[in-house]
Amino acid sequence: RVVDALATLPERDREALLLREAGFAHREIAEALGTTTGAVGTVLARALRRAAALLRAALPDAREAL
């Protein structure tokens, strides 16, 4: 379900989350996305909100955990 949720995210959000999970620094994520380091936090926060919403919809019994 997580893979499905990631697949439905916009490419930029998906890439940001995957880079973060892989341990890349905000500077490296910014370079990969073609943005500033200051914008990376915003991109990640938005991506996490979208992913959580998708997972809540896919796992209605897990609403409390997300």
Give residue 63's pLDDT. 56
pLDDT band at 61 (very low <50, low <70, confident <90, very high): low
Structure tokens at 2: 């997580």
Give residue 28's pLDDT. 98
pLDDT band at 26 (very low <50, low <70, confident <90, very high): very high
Provide the sign of the torsion angle of the four alpha carbons 42, 23, 3, 55, taken in this order.
negative
Q: Which residues of 28-48 are buried (b: 16+ CB within 10 A; e: fewer)?
A: ebbeebeeeeeebeebbeebe
Region class of 11: left (phi > 0), else alpha (psi between -120 and 50), else beta: alpha
Determine what percent of the chain is predicted with pLDDT higher than 90. 71
Per-residue pLDDT of 28-56, as tens digits, reads 999 999 999 999 999 999 999 999 998 88
Question: Which amino acid is present at 50?
Answer: R
